[in-house]
């Protein structure tokens, strides 16, 4: 695994910016198409933890023309078997900070969203892809297997059969195709992903904090439960969120007609 990335190195690998309640975490290795090394993952983890203390939502984006081309194969090829296992588990821990942390994350995707880059995107809660984005899982052709949580997260997004197709054949999908498969939430014109992601993160940041926490942490666990267990946990979370002072104020605002009603798309 090596020594943890120092602050200067982490700052070089990851850009960090706070825009109001939204933290922007930028992958900053464009000369390598933002390929992820273990030190890079540690730097992402540090930024995610920081965002959890300073922001109410986050955006993960990639500098340059690509979001992330995946695993740094030069580093990976030099690892022992145990180092490979430890590295994979470190990726799992850090990507879990995104998926089941304290704030929601949106990813802004362009160019290559490949291998570990797709695994990183899959750990975010909303994925916005530009028309230029393309998705691939070339591990089968490299003689390796996914190690950043893709066998769980990507398979649950698009189905294990489709994921297996991508890995077995090297199939590359466009943003529009991935949207149809369920791996992308929004497709936008080239150059528009970051602005759209920030806007969506801003909307999520405006939600009640406890509700967001329940969405991030209860919803995926309920998915893994039996129907009856899931419904029981849903009842508990419904009661817990409703009982917060923030929820009480929001409900009062709606009842007193101080909050907007849900409207059809396009309505003012």
Residue 198's CB is within 10 A of a number of other CB atoms, namely 20
Give the residue among 266, 66, 267, 108 at the shortest CA–CA distance from 200. Answer: 108
Out of 17, 119, 190, 256, pick the active-site residue: 119
Q: Which long-range contacts (CB under 8 A, 24 or more apart) does 233-240 make?
A: 240/210, 240/214
Q: Is 99 a catalytic residue?
A: no
To the query of whether residue 139 is one of the catalytic residues in this protein, the response is: yes
Burial status of residue 130 (CB atoms within 10 A of its CB: 0-12, 13-18, 19 or more): buried
SS3 of residue 174 by DSSP:
strand
Contact 14, 49 (CB under 8 A): no
Identify the H or E element spanning 16.
strand 14-19
Which burial class, exposed, middle or buried, applies to 151 when counting CB atoms under 10 A from its CB (0-12, 13-18, 19+)? middle
Output the six-digit token pair for 256: 């007193």
Question: Which among 139, 179, 246, 249 is annotated as catalytic?
Answer: 139
CB atoms within 10 A of CB 235: 10
Q: Which residues are catalytic?
A: 119, 139
């Amino acid at each position: 695994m090596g020594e943890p990335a120092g602050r200067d190195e982490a700052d070089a690998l990851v850009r960090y910016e706070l825009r109001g309640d939204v933290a922007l975490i930028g992958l900053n290795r464009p000369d390598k198409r933002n390929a992820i090394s273990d030190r890079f993952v540690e730097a992402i983890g540090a930024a995610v933890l920081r965002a959890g203390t300073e922001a109410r939502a986050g955006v993960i984006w990639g500098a340059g023309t690509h979001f992330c081309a995946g695993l740094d194969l030069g580093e990976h090829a030099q690892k022992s078997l145990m180092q490979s296992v430890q590295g994979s588990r470190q990726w799992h821990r850090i990507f879990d900070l995104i998926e089941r942390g304290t704030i929601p994350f949106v990813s802004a995707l362009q160019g290559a969203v490949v291998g570990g880059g797709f695994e990183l995107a899959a750990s975010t809660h909303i994925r916005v892809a530009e028309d230029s984005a393309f998705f691939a899982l070339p591990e089968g052709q490299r003689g390796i297997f996914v190690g950043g949580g893709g066998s769980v997260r990507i398979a649950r997004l698009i189905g294990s059969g489709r994921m297996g197709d991508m890995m077995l054949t090297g199939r590359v999908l466009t943003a529009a195709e991935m949207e149809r498969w369920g791996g992308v939430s929004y497709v936008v014109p080239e150059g528009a992903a970051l602005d759209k992601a920030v806007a969506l993160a801003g909307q999520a940041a405006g939600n009640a904090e406890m509700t967001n926490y329940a969405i991030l942490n209860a919803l995926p666990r309920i998915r893994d439960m039996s129907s009856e267990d899931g419904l029981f946990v849903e009842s508990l979370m419904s009661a817990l969120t409703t009982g917060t002072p923030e929820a009480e104020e929001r409900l009062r605002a709606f009842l007193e007609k101080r909050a907007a009603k849900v409207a059809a798309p396009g309505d003012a």
